[in-house]
Amino acid sequence: MGLKKCYVFEVFLIGLLLFSIQELEAHNYAAGKPKFFNVVNYGAIPDGMTDNSKAFLKAWNDACEWKGRGRVYVPKGTFKLGEVLFLGPCEGHTAFIIKGILKASTDMSSLYGDSWINFRYVDRLTVGGGGSLDGQGAIAWPRNDCKNNPNCQSLPTTMKLDFITNSKVHNLRSIDSKNSHFTLFGCSKMNITNIRISAPGDSPNTDGIKIGSSDRIDIRNSIIGTGDDCISILSGSKNLYISNVVCGPGHGISIGSLGKYKDEEDVMGITVKNCTFKNTTDGVRIKTWAAPSMGNAYNIYYEDIFMDGVENPIIIDQEYCPVSPCNQQESSRIQISYVTFKNIWGSSKSASAVTLRCSKRKPCKNIVLDNINLMSSPDVGQLFSSCFHVHGFSYGNQSPYSCL
């Protein structure tokens, strides 16, 4: 009887051991080895004509529910894709790997949202793979007339990232967006690297990367050429670091516009370093509306910036008015302070190379020009700087002569 009990106990221990090994192997697979969810296995067809939205969403849902490293995989080929929402939160570390080309719809009647590809509420997301996002914007640009038409149709951003944290977007190309290429809202701790953005210089409202209400965003090693701001930094953005970005064509790297709407959040802690601007309408720019909304933009630092044929290399414009009529009697209530422009050199296409046009109601404070060396492009003439309602200091070489 004793031997029988020992035998049963040994069988129990062996079973428990095997179960534990299986559980450990499953855990190690989930935690270490990635699991791929190929969109082709979900019915996606890379013919450039079939709408693959359902297949992509199914692959995303399975990858998002995977407790380890789930990978949505888009192989080489051209995949037509409608407007999709990839919703979190996800169970593990989820990635969206694009090797092929994603092509947006040209059917204007099918465009109903503000984004083509939308990731929302995801932590530890990676989007990359070396593929391309073709927004097919040329057909939509004639309708992008919201500045003149209050009843205009809202056009979708190519990729919208809402409430994404501890994540990265890298090694992607965005072509011909209908509206902005990338938009970040409510994001935190994100790295954006090796992005290539391209659209014609006259394509309307095609901002490269638009950021609002986001914190600790790092943008590096990217080339942006488009029809609007290369990077647009909006209300509530703070602790942004931008480096090694080539901008052009486009409207430069802009903070704002600010002050148009009520209850806007402050902008603070913005650093732009080691960037190049080629044939842009603006270089480094801060723009605010002459409107009654209050706010602040401060602790802003520009360093080691090269301008190659830029129309407005350095500009603060607190009378921003892209669409008339504007209230000429009103002064901006956005307080701009602690802004440094250091080691900025190259060529200006406009005689007014440095323009600091601040608010009469809220003059700019603690503005620093440190080692500015700008020359005129051919047929421009002598450069000058102009200051309005600004308090600050200048150091080192100043060409044109500083107005501070």
User: Which residues belong to the active site?
Assistant: 251
| Residues 267, 165: Cα–Cα separation, whole Å | 19
| Residues 107, 110: Cα–Cα separation, whole Å | 6
DSSP state of 304: E
Q: Which residue has the tokens 């790092």?
A: 218
Within 8 A by CB and 6+ apart from 237, the residues are: 211, 212, 213, 214, 215, 217, 255, 267, 270
Q: Is the dihedral of CA 298, 304, 305, 307 positive or negative?
A: positive
Helix (H) or strand (E) holding 256: strand 253-258
Within 8 A by CB and 6+ apart from 9, the residues are: none
- Which of 68, 72, 89 has the alpha carbon at shortest distance from 81? 72
| Residues 205, 135: Cα–Cα separation, whole Å | 13
| Residues 401, 347: Cα–Cα separation, whole Å | 15
In a 13 Å sphere around the CA of 194, the CA atoms on its Cβ side amount to 10
